[in-house]
Structure 1
Amino acid sequence: MPRGGKKGHKGRGKQFSNPEEIDRQMRLQRKLEENDGAEKESSESDEESSSDEESESRKRSGVEGLIEIENPNRVSQKSKKVTEVDVSAPRELSRREREELEKQKSKENYMKLHLEGKTEQARADLARLAIIKKQREDAAKKREELRKEKEAEEAKAKR
């Protein structure tokens, strides 16, 4: 019977790396890390140089090194120091925040007008309330009349 049962063996056989190959890769990785560390130390000392020099010295991938690209969306975000941040300046609101504020203001304005009875819905509500009030008054009058008639009939029956 073949490996893996009736359906056959799936996948590859296990492959083990040579110890020499692993050592070679480790040495190569250490050399790269040492070179990166040396570059970082030299770049930290040259940090005071202008941003133009930094953009020229950075590695460019693909055709970026051959063609000058002026993409406004590709501006790198520069972090500001705490001393540079102006807290007193008004913060610009995002579109969603502006829309949310406008929505709240319009709702407050509508409620104010509604309480004063100046909106269509408020007028309709007041008219409906007036009709219900009148119906209740009529029903109360009818109940009072029926009660008085009953009392009068009971008084006649006792005599």
Structure 2
Amino acid sequence: MDEQTAAAKKTILRTIPYGLYVLGVNHAGEDSAACINWVTQTSFDPPLIVMGVKKDSGAYALLKKSGKFALSFLESGQKDLAFAFFKPTTVDGNHINGHEFERGAISSAPVLSSTPAFIEGTYVGEVDMGDHSCVVGQVADAVLKRDYQILTLKECGVNYGG
């Protein structure tokens, strides 16, 4: 790829809008949570989503073992919450990476208490290519606490892609 094409590719791919979410997983009493930004719905019936999950992360390892997850949706203004989950998971009582959480009723996974919405689901498959795996999950439950606008990478001043 020549220099001009590479620059164009980088510019174009960075225009893809990326929301921010915290993927929570629990297996055998162990918790993990990671901020992710590649999420999309891929099917209405059954309700399926695809998540890009970094393969060397603790969340990915636990997701593969447990087969269940919770996905907390971050709202505009929750940049500090997003950045707290770009690092390894620490749990202290009912706080994960310093933020209060509750457990999902279906997954037992951590759900961030301050987020406006979350879904829970089950792992149904993946496309394992590259440094992230495209994990397919079937949505089993959804909780909407309030109306919101999704937090985006653009709002956080972060570029991803290219």
Could you tell me the TM-score, scaled by structure 2's length?
A: 0.20
More strand by share: 2
Q: TM-score scaled to structure 1, two decimals?
A: 0.20
- Using CA pairs under 8 Å that are at least 6 residues apart, name the structure with larger relative contact order, 1 or 2: 2
